[in-house]
Amino acid sequence: MSIDDMRDDLSKDEHYKKFVNYYLEQDEYTYYTTTNYEEQWENLMKQSEGLWPGILSKLAQYANEERSVIFEGVNILPHLAQRDLQIPGIVIIGQSLKETFERNEHAPRWGKTEELQKREEDAFFNGERPHYKREAEKYGFPVFETSDEAWSTAIQILTPQPRTPAKRTKNL
């Protein structure tokens, strides 16, 4: 399940529309040249926290799912996941500026030109990435730079664990 798909659905709701469109309603070049990394992180947190009740309501649809369900998205911040989801998870933060640029070039989040994608790449890698890492570690989520590194932990999380029968005690 992609949080991006959930965000698209939430954009139809007037309450959530301003959060979904927060970045799209701004001039990207101006945003990245006038907003420092800390302000950018604060903006991302406000957007994520604003969208969070809507995302939670959509995640609730899977509450009784017997199979493992994977949720992915930048708006699932570790402090929100730890507080409201109470499920294990991992955080993958990317390995290099080059890899981040290639991902943005292939599937742009915002920027449509190479210059804007490079600004977005820098903002993520040097601004958001350290925050994701610190927050994930603070809330007990393992952090990896690549999906290959995260693989064994992800498999362990997704593999159903055998239930241990409750111990019976005898009343004497």
Domain ranges in the chain are 3-158
pLDDT band with cut points at 50, 70 and 90 for residue 1 = low
Handedness of CA 99, 101, 105, 108 (dihedral sign): positive
Instruction: State yes or no: pLDDT of 54 exceeds 80.
Output: yes
Q: What is the mean pLDDT of residues 160-165?
A: 68
- The helix or strand, by DSSP H or E, that contains position 91, with its residue range, turns out to be strand 91-92
Q: Quick: pLDDT tens for 117-152.
A: 889 889 999 999 999 999 999 999 999 999 899 999
Segment 12-39 shows an average pLDDT of 93
Which CA distances in Å does 24 have to 80, 150, 154, 166?
23, 32, 33, 53
Residue 167 reports pLDDT greater than 80: no
* Inter-residue contact 22 to 43 (CB < 8 Å): yes
| In contact, 49 and 76? CB cutoff 8 Å | no
Residue 51 has pLDDT above 70, yes or no: yes
pLDDT for residue 164 is more than 70? no
Q: Which of 30-39, 53-62, 75-84 has the highest mean pLDDT?
A: 30-39
For residue 1, what are its two tokens?
Answer: 């399940």
> Contact at 8 Å (CB) between 144 and 91?
yes
Please, what is the average pLDDT of the chain? 86
Mean pLDDT of 80-86: 90
**Would you say 117 and 111 are in contact if contact means Cβ atoms under 8 Å apart?**
yes
Cα-Cα-Cα-Cα dihedral of 93, 123, 14, 73, to 10°? -10
Q: What is the pTM of this model?
A: 0.82
- Percent of the chain past pLDDT 70, that is, above it, reads 92
pLDDT of residue 168: 53
**Cα–Cα distances in angstroms (integers) from residue 7 to residues 96, 107, 120, in the given order:** 27, 16, 20
In the prediction, which pLDDT does 59 show? 85
Residue 72's DSSP bridge partners are 2
